Each structure stands twice: as C-alpha cells, then as structure tokens.
Structure 1
Amino acid sequence: MKKIRALKYFLATFLALFFIAGKPPEFGRESNFFQGYVIPQPVVRIGLIVGMKEAAISSSSGMKIYEIGREYRLLAEDAEEVVIKVEKEKLTEKFVLLITQTTDYQEAELLAAELSQKLPGQVLVEERVEAGSKLYQLKYGEFLTRGQALESIRLLDSLGYRDVWIIREIVSLPEPGNIWLQVDHKLQSYNKEADLYFIPAFPESFLRLNERSYRGIFQLKNTGRGLALINILNLEDYLKGVVPLEMSPGTFNALEALKAQAVAARTYALKNLGRNSSLGFDLTDTQSSQVYGGLSAEHPLSNRAVEETAGEVITYKNELINALYTSTCGGMTEDAENIFSGRPVPYLKSVSCTHEKQPEWRLETARAYPGIRIKGRDILAEVFPLLAAGIISHNSPADYFDQPATGEEVAGYLGRVSEFRKINNPADIPGLEKLPQVNFVELAHVLVGFFGWQDKTGLLLLPAEVEFMLKDQQRHKDLKEADRRALAYLLQSGIYPNYLREDNLFRPVTRAELAFILKKSLSWLEDLYHQGTFLGKKGEQLEVMEGNNRRLLSWPADGYLLRSLEEGTFPARSLLLLGGEKIRWIEAEGQVRLLEVMYPPNTNVLDRNSRYNRWNVRVAREELEKNILKSYPQVGTLSDLKVLQRGKSNRVIELQITGDKGTVVVEGLRVRWALNLKDTLFSIDREYDPSGRLSHFVFSGRGWGHGVGLCQVGAYGMALAGAGYKDILSHYYKNIKIEKVH
C-alpha cells in the first residue's frame, strides 16, 4: 500500500513538472506514459478546437481522465464518454486589426506566417461567412484601445500594408468555475486553471472527438482564446491523418506522389513546431497549418507513403525548407517572391511542369465499326456496351442496322440479356421467333412481358396520360388497353425515342432502333464497367490502376475503343496516351472488350489531368466590383483592369485596378484575392453592352492555387511517368537535399 501511495505522489510531482512547462513534452521512444501508454518522439501538439463551447469525447475501449494543475487527481478510471460544456459567458471588448481577407485559407495562412515573422506578435487567420461564402481574414493584435491599434497600423504601413482596418469585437470568455464535465452521465466541476488529459485505457486504443477518431491523447487547456482541445501524438501518426486530406489517395493513387507529399508535409510540420505555442499547441487541424483528420482520415496507401519515408525531410543548406505546394500549377510554377512579398527563396523558383522522360503509348484496334443511326443521329457510342458485352451483334453489310429486326433476333438479344441478369425467358412469349419483322406495338408487348413491367404500366400511368402520349397515333384506340399502356409507358419513360410519338408505331423496328431501346431498357449496363487509371502498356497488355490495385489486362486486336471529350464520346481506331488518363472498361474472359478513355486537354504538361489545368470565368462588372471593394473601397465604381507585370510563368504579379474614385496597384497573391479567381495565371477579355458600356470581364486561365513549390497534380503525373518521390521533390524544389532526421 505504501508503495502504491509513493508511486502516486511520484507521478503527481512528475506530471506537474511535465505538463506545466511551457514547451511541448519530449517523450523518449521507450518511455512509459501513464501506466504503459507510449508516444514515441518526435511529438506534435495539434489544436483541434479553440474557444470550445461543447464537445463529446469517447474512447474505443475506455479512457482515464487526469486533472493536472497545482494538484494531481484522477477524475475517471475507465470512462466511456465525456461531455464538456461551458455554461455561462462574460462579455468583453477588444480591438483588432484586419489586414486583408481572402476566400483561400491555405494562402491566407502563408501570408500570416510571413507577417508573423515581421511583427511583434502572431497574425491569425479567422473564418467568416458573408453572403453564403467563406472568407478568411488575417487579423493582428488584441488592443484595449483604438489608440493602441493605431500605433500598430503605422508599423504595418511601414511594411507596405496600407489597407488595414480597425475592428471592434465582442468576445466571450468563460468565467471561473463554470465548466462542467459529464463523465458517463455524472457531472463533475472542472478547475479551468488546471489541464485535463484524456488517455486511452490501452495503447492500441484510440479517442473520438464528435465521432472522429484520433491516435494519441487529448489535452484540454485554458488559453487566452478560451478552452483549447489538443491532440498530442507522434509526428508520423499525425502525418497519416494529413497526407490523405492534402492529396487524396482515391484520386492520386500513385505511391511515389504520396511519398513526395508525405515528405513535404513532414517538413512543414517540423519547421512550424511551436507556431501556436502561446495557445499550448504547435499546429491547427485546418488549412491554416495542414488539414488533419486523425485516424478517421487514414488510408492504407497514404499510410504506406508515410511509413516508407519515415523521418525524411527537405533541407536547403542544412535548414528545413518552407515546403509550399499548390494543387495545379497550370504548366509552370512561379518564383516565390513574385507571389509572396519578401526576398527571393533560392529553392522556390519557377519550373516547368513537364517531364523529360515522359513516355507515350499508342492504343490501336482493327475493329471495323458499324454505322448505327436513328433518324440520322449516330448512336454507335451509346450502344457500344451492348456490342462489347455480346448482347447484340452485327454482320458486314453497311446497311445492316437500317434493316428491320426479326422476331428471332429480338428473342436472341433478350436471351443474351438473360445470361447477364436472370429475367423472364423470352421463349415464353408465343410465336416471337417466327415473326419476319417486329413493329413497335409488338415490341412493347414483348418488353413489358420480358422485364415484368406490368405494375409500371398498370399503376404509374393515369388514363389521361395514356391518351396524351398516344393522341397522334390514329389507330391506338383499336389496341388492347394493356398494349396502349405499354406504349405510353415506354414513350413517357424515354425507353422509346421521343420521335415515335408522331411516327407510325405499326411500322417495323429497325435493328438500330432495337439497339437503342435495349440500351435504354438495361439500367444495369453501367454495372458492367470497371473504372480506373491508365498507367501504361507492358507488351500487349494494359497496366491500369483499379482502386488501389495495379492490374494487367489483355487488349485484343479488335477491341472497341472510345474517346470521351467534353463535346461527346466517339469511336476511335487509334489513341495516343501519356499515362494518368481516367478510363473505364468492360472485360470478359480476361480480355478488355471495350475501353473508354476520358481525354484530358490537348497538352503534355504533368498536371494535364486536373480540371483546373485550363478554366474560364465570365463575371459581370458589378459582381467583380463588389469583390474588389471588400479590400479596396477607395476604388469606387470599377472601370478597368490592366496587367502591369507578369512573372516567369506569366502569372500576373502586378495589376492596376481603376475606378471612378481612384486607382490601386495590387501585387502577388492579392491579385487572386481581389478578383476571386482560381489562380493568377490568366488573360483578360472584356464584353460591352449595346450602348458600349463595359458589362463583363472574361478570364481565361490555368492552375488552381498560388502556383509556388510542389505542384500536387504534377507530382502525380511524374509518378505515373515512372519518377520516384526524390526525383519529384528535386524537380519542384531546386538544389535541396532529402535527409533523415529521426
């Protein structure tokens, strides 16, 4: 008993010294923490909530709760759930400086980090919703008086920030003793001067915050901005919750690209340790640092990327780099100093988003495609799945599909449908196979019987609708009611082409029309498709990525080949592929029978597969003016925009905005914020109304993001072309080294 009491007092003393210290805890790799719970070095502290009002914390298998302050006490030995509530509020007033605002959180935090190095204090990024849109504001300082705020405005003015506003804010801070914990349905008071620690009962367990799971432990700490909930965990475990949210393995399923992202994310985290030390943690879980989703966000492929690069970081002259990355660079990145104010950064230089070892593959087919048209419209691409699956077939005559379908062919096609889906046997329809041709009335009767659509035709149509759909058919009154309803249903549902409403339904159905109608009838045809990414060719086999699996598929000499473009899908006999193209295919007996390639823009740049490689935005002058006035009210009514200077990638780095009250020159990243565009790589066209007044601006651009550092989609393109993660990082960050630091 004395040994247990002595151990308790030792832990109390140790924990008090351990946690009250202002710096993050340093855990040894083998040091036990709280009855065997181990967190290996290096350790990071991630702020999950700041200014908490309410939260629910639970564990996968129970947790211990400790209160560590001047005294140490165990609040719960094996709690299942804790609800934290702040009951009362006290209002206070403060003044802060609004430096600028943007719709892009990541770029806001980059500017905030830069300014924080120049100012005696930290620049914060806060979210605000205005007219249904999110704005991220850069705020600085907390001042008791306007006079104090004005003094800091002068400092910002000397740094070149002249459009700064003083904002008066009402803030709420918890009063002493009014924070309660509901531990397994039992209320306990919480001394906010102490810290709470939530520890999983077992090392392999995890904690949950509002249904999201996390590795490591939680700390609840009172800060100058209210209660903060902090996730304390190993750096490598933290990265497993970062990489899949910064570069989705579902979309970017190339391991080497994810490894490059992992090294960049690790470098960023280590370089920014202690960035929020005044609040008791290192990084946030949002774009103001890196997006972090905990254990719930983890993915096997990105976990592998983190594990295979464990401890690796990017350095320049023995210093961690500022590992900036952008989603899509539009073919070329930009010098950092042209986007962010400051001195040139030797490793963040403009580079072309191309790969000198870019492979090319030619896919060809000897397939002779039939002409399949209805009313002059080519429907070959639409019925390709039927041909590829062998449900319909064709002979050599050029006019084969223009000829009437026989009853034997209808029965044969439906029989092959039954091989894919167990449906009614078409042989049960008397006399079908003996018919030399089939009209639309007979086909409607056959289809309703075959697919079992009697309820649809009998229950889902009003008598008035039947009359309306068939009113242009002179002989429809002579038909049986079941056949009239069958025709009306097929016309109304779109299974029968719409032109048949005014056509002769007693004429023979052509083979092309039968193919179209079957395609419309078989909603499950889409289930035959596999989807993935084309990686390349190995001999006569196609290498594809399906989900997380690499597969080799046999490509026959007579496979059906489709090219999918913005304007439609078209048959092809030859396609040039670079790798990374999105594809879908139908396979049978180990062979690809149909391959559809979603073609990217006509370019070979590495980020070609991004939807933002090229974009166009047309915006009314008044709407653009509203956005500009948020940051530059001195402009007045917008009259024109003029590009004054471009960077090495042709990004706009200096823009003149002219209005009836004044002119401003906007530089770097603020150009994007002022115009609310995806990137600053754009050209400008203007439209005028009939009176000659400027009505619209049309921006034709490329890229998404700030355009500096690693291009994420480009990294994916390099990985698909065979580059390793070190080659990728060395391409986008110049003259760097990749070193292992732990």
Structure 2
Amino acid sequence: MKPLLVPALILSVASAPAAQPPLRIGLDTQATEWIVSLEGGGQVCDRAGKPLLKLAPDEKLRIWWDSRGASDPTSEYRIQVGRPLAAGEAEALMKRLKTLGEPADRVRVPDADTWRVLTGHFPEAPKAEPLLQKLQDLGYDELWVATEPRDSQPRKGRALYAVSDRYERRALPLGGVWLRPAGELTSLQGKGRYRGKVEIFPNAQGRLTVVNTLDLETYLRGVVPKEMGAWEFPSLEALKAQAVAARTYAVANRGKRAADGFDMGDTVADQVYGGRDGEQLLTDRAIQETEGLFATYGGKPILALFMANCGGHTVDVSQVFGGDAPYLKAAPCYPAKPLTLPFTSGAPITAEAQQSWLSWELLRLAAGIVPVEWLSGDRLARPATTEDLAAPVLALQQRLGLDPAPLSRNGHLVLALARALGLHTVVEGQERPQDAAYFLPPEVPAGDRLLAAFLTRRGIVPAALWTAKEPPALRQALLALGRMWQDLDPLTPGEGALLMDRQVRRKRGGPEPLALSPRLILAEEAPDGSLRLLPKADIQVGDRLKWISAEDGSAAVLVRRLDPDGAAWDRYNPTAHWRVEYTEADLLALVRKRIKVSGIRELRAQHNEEGRVLDLALIDSQGAAHRVRGMHIRGLLGLKDNVFRFLTLGQGARRRWVFYGRGWGHGVGMCQTGAYGMALEGATFQQILSHYYPGTDLRKVD
C-alpha cells in the first residue's frame, strides 16, 4: 500500500547545534500558599542557592505568603478597539483615540506580527460601559471588553514563611525560594510532580508565582502528551509532528510572558504542560526521534500554531490573528482521494438494497448458530416453526453449557424458546400477577403470563407479540432468541480502527492482526445504527470496525461503521461536529459579557467557502450593528469554533438559538486530529508538517 503523497519538508541538519537555553514555565500566579515535598528529601534554598532548611523524604512543607489583607487584583478590564492591526495602523488608531480624549496603548498579538489597540482601565466590566457607548456613538463598530493583566508594584511589609508538619514557622527571604530535591522530582500538592528547578516567589499582585525551569527536551515530555496524548492519538508519526510543532512554538515564544517572571505558562494560552505526571512512553519516543528538530521559515523557527480540530479546513492567519505568514495559509483536512482497503464477504449475501430487518442479534446468530442463508428478507418473513428452531436452540444450549432439552411444540413458540433456555425457572417468586397485568393484555393465557411478563419487562419481546393473530415470523422468533442469548451471555463486539496493513487498533491499545473467517459476513452500520449486509466493500483506512468472533477467534462477522463525522482527517475528535442551543436570555447574557446591548435583533454571519465565519455583525434591538471578527466570534457566542451555521426558533423572549458547527480551536496552523488522520493513511511527520506549514524547512537550529 502506497503511503499518502504529500510534499515532504526539506530536512537540513546542522553538524553541532547549540544547546537551547533552559525554559522558565509559569505553573501558577494566583495562590498564596503551597504544600510541597521533595523526592528523597532535599533542601529549601534561597533563589541564589544558599540552603535555608532541610526536608526529610516524604516530609511536607507549607510555603505561605502572609498577604496581610486582600491581594491586589491580577487583571483589569480594557476596551479593544478594532481587529489586530499592523504596527503603523495601530499607531494611527492610537493617535485618533488620543484626540478623542481616550489615551490608548498597544499590545502585541503573540501568535502574529500584529497589535491590539486597548483603551481604558476598569476594575469591573460594567464600569467600561460608558466608554464603550461613547466609542459606539462615534462609529467604532468593532469593540471588545477584554480582560488584561494588571500592572502593579509589590507592596512592602509582607512576609514569606515555611510551616512544617509540626507547625513550626520559619521566615523565608522575601525574594522567594528554590526547592532542591535529593532525587529528581518536586511535588506541588494539587498540581503535580516536576523535574528540573522549581522556584516559588511573591509577585506584584500579592500572590505566589511558581516557576519550573528545565531544558527544552524535558519540557516537551510534559507538553506533547497533554497536547496530543498517546492514548487518544496512538500514532508515532502524528506525535512526532506534534513534538516538532511544540518544540518550535516554545523557542519562537520564549520570553512571551517575561513581565510575569517566566517564558510561558502551562495552559492552553501557551502550551499545556503537565510535568512528570503527564509523561507517556510513546510521546517520549516521538520527542527522542525528533530531538532538536524545528520547523523553520527563512532560517528561523516559525510560529507553529496548532489547534485540536480544524473543522475540515484550516484558515489563513490573517483572518484570525491578523498579519501575514506564508506558512500559515488555509489547508484542507480531507485527502484528495481517501485511502481504502477492499474486503469481500465469504458468505452468500442477499442483494436487497434495504435490510430494515437486520440486527446485531441476527448477525450474532448467523456467526455459527443459524445458517447465513437465513439472512434474507423473504426467508425471515416466513412463519417460524419448531423444526426451524430445534437445531439453533440445541446449538445455543451447548454454547451456554445448558443441559439439552427439546423445543416444546405446545403453546407460544417464543415461550417455548425461553423455556428451552431455562428462563422459566427464574420467574417463580420474581414475577407477580400484578406486574403481568401491568405489562400484558388480558388475552395472554394464565399459565403463560408470568414468563411473558418477564420477557416483556426485560425488553426481549414486545408486548404486541402476545396478541398477534398470526404466528411469529422467523425474524421475530430469531430476534427473541438472540435477545435471550444477549441477556444470558452479553456480547460486546470487538472494536478497533482499520490500519493500512489491514490490522486494527483497539481504543487505548496497540495494533493487532484481525483474522477473518473464510465464511466472513460483511455488513455496514449507518450513523443511525441501522445495518445492511454487503457482498464487498472498500473501507476507508481509519474507519471503525466492529466484529463478532467465531469460536476459533477469527472474525465471523465484520461490520464497518460509517463515521457520522464523514471522511475528513480530523473526524477522530469528539468535537468534529457539535450542536449548541441557547435560550434568548442565555445568549443575551453571554453577549453582554463582551458587548453592551439592550437586546439582539439578529446575527449576520459572513462565511468563507469552508463555512468558517470570518465576520459577524450583531444587530441590537435599536438597529445598531456591532462587528466581531476572528477569535472574538467564538468567544462572544461561547462556541468551540467559528465553523458554524445557526437558526432561530420561536419569537421574542421564547426565541431559541441553535448552532450547528464543527471543529475546536482557532483554526490556524496544524490540526492535531488531522495530523493523526494523515498518519493513519501513511503520512510521515515530515509530510504532516509540510501540509499544515507549507514552505517550511525542518532543521536543527544553531
């Protein structure tokens, strides 16, 4: 099988790349105390390395910042005016605002060469409303109340303490401490374990900043599994692509949060980092096999943006963050031609197009209890007879380890099946005549009522069957027999994704071979759960297969599941498609967190060809338009992505807004789920990176 053909990245390897300086990762800036312990014990030092006190193995120490009053707020509210702009455009906008008596400044967008223009400083969002209204009246239609870090200076007169398990308190330097374990790990209670250097020191807001300093490759061991875990995306090539992207992002964004005392945080605002507790063996391997490799453009590491799920197509960076990057252009998340593998049924299959009669119970019976030739609408529509079912009942008794008992010719055939499997023995003392009267029509004979009620209560037989004028059809009898079998011996079909080499990968498992019975029954499951038999099928790599095993372990029945999320590479994420519904009041409350409006008259969305909303106009109840673009759109509406359509139901206060969408994230750069889908179809990590970051080189950077 040929691998997916995508232009590969150019690989340039320098002979002796310089070691990257350590990274400083901010783990927290909000708490005023931490409980810590050191692997093998160790020392608490000042930040210059001078020992202050010693900790025994497993000893816990409380680091406490005596704030002596309420801490300063760490954030404030500001009004962003317009979309991100180039430097010159941002300066011009700031001058216009200054002439209006509203001084403004600019903040660089970390993920693009653009700037956000901000004005006003407010402790609470409602206090920004007068200025918001003023700017709206002056014709600024794209406004946003943004939460921004607040600048402040540390207060004097506070103290940092260490409190031992014995409640002994010792003053620590106001500059903070360095935790030095005898082993490798420092533990922060409620947070996790961390390699490298961990420091705790007071910040300007009267809280404690925790910083983990470590080398780049060790840092990646805690990042890659958090961004693209091996349990969810167990493909080495996809994980290698993520390792390169994460390494590149880290170097390109070094110092991004220098004002806070570290390079980057450990959340989705930068890259999710889980320390030692996040590490996995397969992601460790991906990092090792790409050690030192960066995606570059013009010899420099790129802004390697990525998101969970692109919704079928990525988007140009200019339409989200502003600016322009040749390697952050829109890219499809669909193969030009899906990679499929042929499968053929080894059993005679009916040619009927619609097979509404087919069920998992019938497929299970056809895997060795009844002849596969019975799986025909005409055959199953015939009246069932004792002669038909005698052999299947005997085979099922043997399979279940029951003593052989002949199928009675007296009474209702379905009740005879139940008695042959011993279900009548569980009725006495369990079922009551009152329950039978509740479940059953009065026509059911007295001697059959308790067993019939039991079968009805268990969902094995519909109540209408007991009063049918015609004898049960073979399909009805087999369906009842199959459900009795399921009740006595529940079947969980095997399940796994189809791989290129015709192996399967179970969830949270590795690749494994799937032997097929020579008499294989091939079927297909639609998104609504309905089944149909197939004489043959070209099954797309990555599709989920279900199978029922024969007694020798081979797959006697193979069912291909038509993925409800379609054929895209990014269909393996639960958010490939989604639906969100709001009441009028809920949507209005959500919008008012960002924009001051009295009500919502309508939403007008401008879509690109891939269905992504690039520009949203909210028309308020007064008829004024409020424009929102890029990242702000999904934030305003509380949606996972900008790929959506919507409809409204009802009128006035009873109106409901229903959004149908796909994807999760900003849509720029590498689609993580798409990378996994590409890898399933045979793409290498170089090909994955080339597809999502076109024109880049893969090299070791000096």
The interval holding the TM-score normalised by the smaller chain is: 0.7 to 0.9
Query: In the superposition, relative to structure 1, how do residues 223 and 582 fare at CA in structure 2: closer, same or farther (>3 Å)?
Result: same
1:60-71 to 2 correspondences below 5 Å: 61-68=39-46
Find the counterpart in structure 2 of residue 84 from structure 1: 62
Q: Is the 8 A contact 1:658 1:664 kept in 2?
A: yes
Query: In the superposition, relative to structure 1, how do residues 474 and 581 fare at CA in structure 2: closer, same or farther (>3 Å)?
Result: closer
Q: Is the 8 A contact 1:96 1:141 kept in 2?
A: no
1:329-728 to 2 correspondences below 5 Å: 329-341=310-322, 343-356=323-336, 358-369=338-349, 378-387=356-365, 389-394=367-372, 398-399=378-379, 402-406=383-387, 408-409=390-391, 411-418=393-400, 423=401, 425-427=402-404, 429=405, 432=406, 439-448=413-422, 454=426, 457=427, 461=431, 464-470=434-440, 472-476=442-446, 479=447, 485-500=450-465, 502=467, 510=474, 512-523=476-487, 528-536=492-500, 538=501, 542-546=502-506, 547-556=508-517, 558-573=519-534, 574-588=536-550, 589=552, 591-601=554-564, 604-617=567-580, 619-633=582-596, 635-643=597-605, 645-647=606-608, 649-661=610-622, 662-687=624-649, 689=651, 695-728=655-688
- The reply on whether 1:98 has 2:80 as its aligned counterpart is no
Give me the whole-angstrom Cα distance separating, in 2, the residues matched to 1:211 and 1:384.
51
Q: Which consecutive residues of structure 1, in runs of 5 or more, have no partner in the other structure? A: 1-28, 30-39, 102-107, 125-137
How far residue 88 of structure 1 moved from its aligned partner, in angstroms, is 6.2
Q: Is the 8 A contact 2:418 2:484 kept in 1?
A: no
1:257-336 to 2 correspondences below 5 Å: 257-336=238-317
Q: Is the 8 A contact 1:641 1:658 kept in 2?
A: yes
Q: Could you tell me which amino acid in structure 2 is paired with residue 522 of structure 1?
A: Q
Q: Is the 8 A contact 1:686 1:698 kept in 2?
A: yes
Higher strand share: 1
Query: In the superposition, relative to structure 1, how do residues 162 and 449 fare at CA in structure 2: closer, same or farther (>3 Å)?
Result: closer
Q: Could you tell me which amino acid in structure 1 is paired with residue 682 of structure 2?
A: G
How far residue 370 of structure 1 moved from its aligned partner, in angstroms, is 6.9
- Equivalent position to 1:733, from 670, 674, 693: 693
Give me the whole-angstrom Cα distance separating, in 1, the residues matched to 2:71 and 2:558.
65
Give me the whole-angstrom Cα distance separating, in 2, the residues matched to 1:45 and 1:512.
67
Find the counterpart in structure 2 of residue 26 from structure 1: none
Q: Is the 8 A contact 1:243 1:261 kept in 2?
A: yes
How far residue 259 of structure 1 moved from its aligned partner, in angstroms, is 1.0
Query: In the superposition, relative to structure 1, how do residues 279 and 317 fare at CA in structure 2: closer, same or farther (>3 Å)?
Result: same
3-state DSSP class of the match of 1:262? helix
Give me the whole-angstrom Cα distance separating, in 2, the residues matched to 1:166 and 1:683.
28
Give me the whole-angstrom Cα distance separating, in 2, the residues matched to 1:461 and 1:85.
64
Higher relative contact order (CA 8 A, sep 6+): 2
Query: In the superposition, relative to structure 1, how do residues 607 and 734 fare at CA in structure 2: closer, same or farther (>3 Å)?
Result: same
Query: In the superposition, relative to structure 1, how do residues 659 and 440 fare at CA in structure 2: closer, same or farther (>3 Å)?
Result: same
Query: In the superposition, relative to structure 1, how do residues 602 and 410 fare at CA in structure 2: closer, same or farther (>3 Å)?
Result: closer
Q: Could you tell me which amino acid in structure 2 is paired with residue 382 of structure 1?
A: W
Q: Is the 8 A contact 2:522 2:558 kept in 1?
A: yes
How far residue 391 of structure 1 moved from its aligned partner, in angstroms, is 3.7
Q: Could you tell me which amino acid in structure 2 is paired with residue 628 of structure 1?
A: V
Q: Could you tell me which amino acid in structure 1 is paired with residue 292 of structure 2?
A: G
Give me the whole-angstrom Cα distance separating, in 2, the residues matched to 1:493 and 1:412.
23
1:213-292 to 2 correspondences below 5 Å: 213-225=193-205, 226-292=207-273
Q: Could you tell me which amino acid in structure 2 is paired with residue 46 of structure 1?
A: I
Point out the more displaced range, 328-337 or 62-71.
62-71
Query: In the superposition, relative to structure 1, how do residues 731 and 159 fare at CA in structure 2: closer, same or farther (>3 Å)?
Result: farther
Q: Is the 8 A contact 2:67 2:158 kept in 1?
A: no
How far residue 740 of structure 1 moved from its aligned partner, in angstroms, is 1.8
Q: Could you tell me which amino acid in structure 2 is paired with residue 409 of structure 1?
A: A
Query: In the superposition, relative to structure 1, how do residues 694 and 92 fare at CA in structure 2: closer, same or farther (>3 Å)?
Result: closer
Tell me the matched-pair count. 642
How far residue 173 of structure 1 moved from its aligned partner, in angstroms, is 8.5
3-state DSSP class of the match of 2:614? strand
Give me the whole-angstrom Cα distance separating, in 1, the residues matched to 2:569 and 2:358.
32
Point out the more displaced range, 679-688 or 218-227.
679-688
Give me the whole-angstrom Cα distance separating, in 1, the residues matched to 2:218 and 2:334.
33
- CA deviation vs aligned residue, 1:551-572 (integer Å, no higher than 9, x gap): 3334456422232222223123
How far residue 273 of structure 1 moved from its aligned partner, in angstroms, is 2.2
Point out the more displaced range, 515-524 or 75-84.
515-524
1:35-46 to 2 correspondences below 5 Å: 42-46=21-25
Q: Could you tell me which amino acid in structure 1 is paired with residue 442 of structure 2?
A: D
Q: Is the 8 A contact 2:414 2:477 kept in 1?
A: no
Give me the whole-angstrom Cα distance separating, in 2, the residues matched to 1:663 and 1:473.
68
3-state DSSP class of the match of 1:380? coil
How far residue 534 of structure 1 moved from its aligned partner, in angstroms, is 0.9
3-state DSSP class of the match of 2:691? helix
How far residue 711 of structure 1 moved from its aligned partner, in angstroms, is 1.5
How far residue 390 of structure 1 moved from its aligned partner, in angstroms, is 1.8
When normalised by structure 1's length, the TM-score is: 0.74
- CA deviation vs aligned residue, 1:129-175 (integer Å, no higher than 9, x gap): xxxxxxxxx999989999xx99x9999x9999744479999x99897
3-state DSSP class of the match of 1:563? strand
Give me the whole-angstrom Cα distance separating, in 1, the residues matched to 2:310 and 2:557.
33
Query: In the superposition, relative to structure 1, how do residues 394 and 680 fare at CA in structure 2: closer, same or farther (>3 Å)?
Result: closer
Give me the whole-angstrom Cα distance separating, in 1, the residues matched to 2:124 and 2:563.
57
Query: In the superposition, relative to structure 1, how do residues 209 and 120 fare at CA in structure 2: closer, same or farther (>3 Å)?
Result: farther
Point out the more displaced range, 218-227 or 272-281.
272-281
Q: Is the 8 A contact 2:498 2:542 kept in 1?
A: yes
Q: Is the 8 A contact 1:241 1:298 kept in 2?
A: yes
3-state DSSP class of the match of 1:346? coil
How far residue 207 of structure 1 moved from its aligned partner, in angstroms, is 3.8
Give me the whole-angstrom Cα distance separating, in 2, the residues matched to 1:143 and 1:434.
84
Query: In the superposition, relative to structure 1, how do residues 383 and 193 fare at CA in structure 2: closer, same or farther (>3 Å)?
Result: same
Q: Could you tell me which amino acid in structure 2 is paired with residue 712 of structure 1?
A: Q
Q: Which consecutive residues of structure 2, in runs of 5 or more, have no partner in the other structure? A: 1-15, 91-103, 111-116
